[in-house]
Amino acid sequence: MDLASEIERNVSAALTEDVGGCDWSALLTPETKSARALVVCRVPAVICGQAWFDACFRKLDPAVAITWLVAEGAHVVAGTRLCEIRGKARALLTGERSALNFLQMLSAVATTTRRYVEAVAGTRAAIVDTRKTLPGLRLAQKHAVKTGGGTNHRLGLYDAMLIKENHIAAAGGITAALKHAQEIAPHGVWIQIEVETLAQLEEALSAGAKMILLDNMNLDQMRAAVTVTAGRAQLEASGGITLDNVHANAETGVDRISIGSLTKDVRAVDLSMRFID
């Protein structure tokens, strides 16, 4: 997927949803009036989503001028001025909510990701996202994960194969599922299989697995899995990972740690946009 096209689609959908046929409140302002506004971040955060923010206003006023005072991916403190906007007052009023919605949501994802990345610093583990994203905003949220220092897992069902417990059951077992996957996967589509026990891990390794997801294993099991695998495959920890335990999981020696809460448990960053003289 092309990110620029996705931004256009996201913004068009957001404005259609919010504005509908008319922004009646904006009509209180003369059509020819210009305005200047300032956006401030009220909490510490990693800023993300500038392209979506800009596109909301440019779709309403192509001549709008937006001056960013911080870079995409910058970590800011509470009270930081993020950007200044100059343009038609009606466009600023109409686009405000949609623009802030993108910026506060994507900054929240980037901020949460940065916290996890910092928590595993000094280990080999990469922090990885999942498909547990807000519907219609997957590329946006995965951009935010990367901005926060994380790594993207597969984008969807089309670019990789993750063989989970129900796939294994339906296919007739780990060996059968892997064999079939290896036969049908096109070049460039990687294959990963989920295991829940050390016995399943050994079967997966014997069947030629190169990427293995350790589902809800405890720390002792993961340490044993790393020893058994001995570098023959990449190991990913998943399930029950929090900021409190992510470092301990990373210290087991796994290569990756996937965390659904990066994108599904979003608590928006507190932002404010105010007109100024």
* Options 164, 165, 232, 265, the catalytic residue: 164
For residue 82, give both structure tokens: 């993020």
- Tell me how far apart the alpha carbons of residues 74 and 107 are, in angstroms, rounded to a whole number: 10
* Catalytic residue check, 215: yes
Q: Work out the number of other CB atoms within 10 angstroms of the CB of residue 74.
A: 16
* Catalytic residue check, 17: no
* Options 36, 58, 115, 132, the catalytic residue: 132
* Options 8, 18, 23, 215, the catalytic residue: 215
Beta-carbon contacts of residue 190 (< 8 Å; ≥ 6 apart): 160, 161, 210, 211
Work out whether strand 160-163 and strand 256-258 pair parallel, antiparallel, or are unpaired.
unpaired
* Options 36, 86, 97, 179, the catalytic residue: 97
- Tell me how far apart the alpha carbons of residues 176 and 45 are, in angstroms, rounded to a whole number: 46
Question: If you count DSSP H runs as helices and E runs as strands, how many of each does the chain have, helices first?
Answer: 10, 12
Strand partners, 234: 211
* Catalytic residue check, 164: yes
* Options 194, 236, 255, 256, the catalytic residue: 194
**161 φ/ψ angles, rounded to the nearest 5 degrees:** -115, 120
* Catalytic residue check, 132: yes
SS3 257: strand
For residue 16, give both structure tokens: 């259609």
Q: Which residues are catalytic?
A: 97, 132, 164, 194, 215
